[in-house]
Amino acid sequence: MKKIQAGHLSKKHLKKLRRLQRHRLTIVSRRATILILSYQGRSCSQIADMVGLHVQTVRNWIKAFNSADRKGRWNLFKPQPHPGRKPTFDEKVQQGLLDIFKESPRKYGFSDSRWTLHRLAEVAVRTGLVSSISHESVRRLINKSKHSYRRLKAWLKITDSQYDRKKRWRDWAVAWAKQDATVSAVYQDESWFSGNPRLVRGWVGPLHKGRVIILQDNLPGFWVLYAAMDVEDSRVHRYYAEKCNNRQVKKQLLRLLKHYEQLGKRVLIVIWDNASYHKAGRLRRWFRRYNRWAKREGRIRLLVIRLPKRSPWLNPIESIFMHTKAQVPGPLPYYDPYELKRLVELHFEEREARLAQTR
């Protein structure tokens, strides 16, 4: 039987093969190694043991290289593309998905204004676009159309020189409230709600870095949500007002004090940021007068703790506001402020129902 061996290789060819031995693809490197070893006089079985391949694979590669012409033999080193199976969903399905999420989710019976992959898959089946589709297939089709799911982010730097001290003070207050049954702590904050859409997470096109929102000045009414989240049960106490000032903050605090006093608490700790209406002189003087009166009458006391400057991650109510605005107003304008308020209140009621199920 005639020995199978690589044909004549010039110095130029050997130099090129040694360069291919350092190729990033293993298959190209192995093919170059097979030819060099064969040129050095090694048998096919020896080469197969050295490169870790079947001996017939080594024979086939040497034969293919010898039978090809001068130009075609070097093209054999390129890996052949594997077409794979035909795609399950065509461009019609892809365009149909894009048309769906350009509309409001409320049109399809959802309670908020945010699209998710599972919702897109559900609507695609419900509208007859496809018989069945998974959320991962929806993700691939949308990414293939050069759309992506993004959320706008603003990176903040710590600028408060007393950050560590104030954070320890907050942690101590939270730990005290969890250990002592007569002490409660809440995270307090305020947020504006209006009919104008917000820059929120969502699918955006290939030419946009975020949603392009055109604010409308003719939308009627707006209001402020005063929210306080209990540290222990994560329940959010809500108070709505048309303005955001220290007088409304005082009303919210009086509501909280009355509520927790009825629960038998002796101290209420309020943790909030450094907004101007939290640091107003009139409000600070009221704190002192109230605590003197509460000490004298044996009523519930009030302790206020300010968070470090520009540190929203220390106040979990911030993420609740962000999630609420992404779920309810979203990127859609609202022309009825009362309808918007009703939807926000419905969102919090559903949140409390979910929390009650997990307890």
Per-residue model confidence as pLDDT tens digits over 301-357: 999 999 998 888 889 998 888 888 777 766 566 667 777 788 888 888 888 888 888
User: What phi, psi does 301 have (nearest 5°)?
Assistant: -95, 160
Pick the closest to residue 270 from 239, 303, 247 (CA basis): 303
Q: Work out the average pLDDT over 90-101.
A: 85
Pairing mode, if any, of strands 202-204 and 148-150?
A: antiparallel
180: which 2 tokens?
């002592």
Q: In the predicted model, what is the mean pLDDT of the chain?
A: 81
106: which 2 tokens?
């409320």
Do 308 and 177 meet the contact criterion of CB atoms below 8 Å apart? no
| pLDDT band (50, 70, 90) for residue 245 | confident
Identify the pLDDT of residue 15: 86
193: which 2 tokens?
């709600």
Per-residue model confidence as pLDDT tens digits over 158-177: 778 888 899 999 999 999 99
Do 251 and 245 meet the contact criterion of CB atoms below 8 Å apart? no
User: What phi, psi does 222 have (nearest 5°)?
Assistant: -160, 165
Identify the pLDDT of residue 204: 43
Cα separation, 35 vs 68, whole angstroms:
14
Pick the closest to residue 322 from 187, 156, 152 (CA basis): 152
| pLDDT band (50, 70, 90) for residue 240 | confident
Do 189 and 227 meet the contact criterion of CB atoms below 8 Å apart? yes
Per-residue model confidence as pLDDT tens digits over 253-293: 999 999 999 999 999 999 999 888 898 999 999 999 999 99
Do 203 and 142 meet the contact criterion of CB atoms below 8 Å apart? yes
Q: Kindly report the CA angle at 149 between 144 and 152, in degrees rounded to 5?
A: 145
Residue pointed to by tokens 């199976």: 85
CA 98 vs CA 212, 319, 332: distances in Å: 17, 29, 17
Per-residue model confidence as pLDDT tens digits over 195-229: 555 544 444 444 343 333 344 444 455 778 899 99
**Is 244's pLDDT higher than 80?**
yes
